Amino acid sequence: MLYLLFALPISIADIASRKIPNIYLQLYAYAVAVLVVFRGVPDAIFILVVLVTLFLMSAIGVGMGDCKLLGLIVLMLQLSRFQEFELLLLAIFMIALIQIVLIWLYSKVIPRTIAMAPAIFIGTTLYLATSQS
């Protein structure tokens, strides 16, 4: 899959600096744009729901780089139903929760921030492994 090509450098950058550099997201966006041209654009209502969800996630403290990455993954996967998007988010947040618990068990301190890129990529892989399509 295309997203695995970018998974390692984006995850390493996010773990090291808690920021996803825009250059990685730009390269990823170009690759996703090619896929969108050939596969088509999702429904406008679905895109609006995804944008509102990403805005709300940003408002509660999820980084903008993580939101942009998640938006690109949604476009890449060509999700069309709200249930698919909900399952993707559930898988990502479940992996993020596991990441928080592991950090807490290792350091005996609940982390205030985590690098979300690894959780996004592992959650996407989990979603793809368990999806029906």
Does residue 58 register a pLDDT over 90?
yes
pLDDT in tens, 19-51: 999 999 999 999 999 988 998 888 889 999 999
- Close Cβ partners of 14 (under 8 Å, ≥ 6 residues apart): 20, 65, 66, 115, 116, 117, 118
pLDDT, position 1:
62
Q: Whole-angstrom Cα distance, residue 131 to residue 71?
A: 19
pLDDT confidence tier of residue 2, bands split at 50, 70 and 90: low
pLDDT, position 52:
96
Instruction: Kindly list the domain boundaries of the chain, sorted by start residue.
Output: 2-130
Residue 115, phi then psi, degrees to nearest 5:
-80, 115
* pTM for the whole structure: 0.90
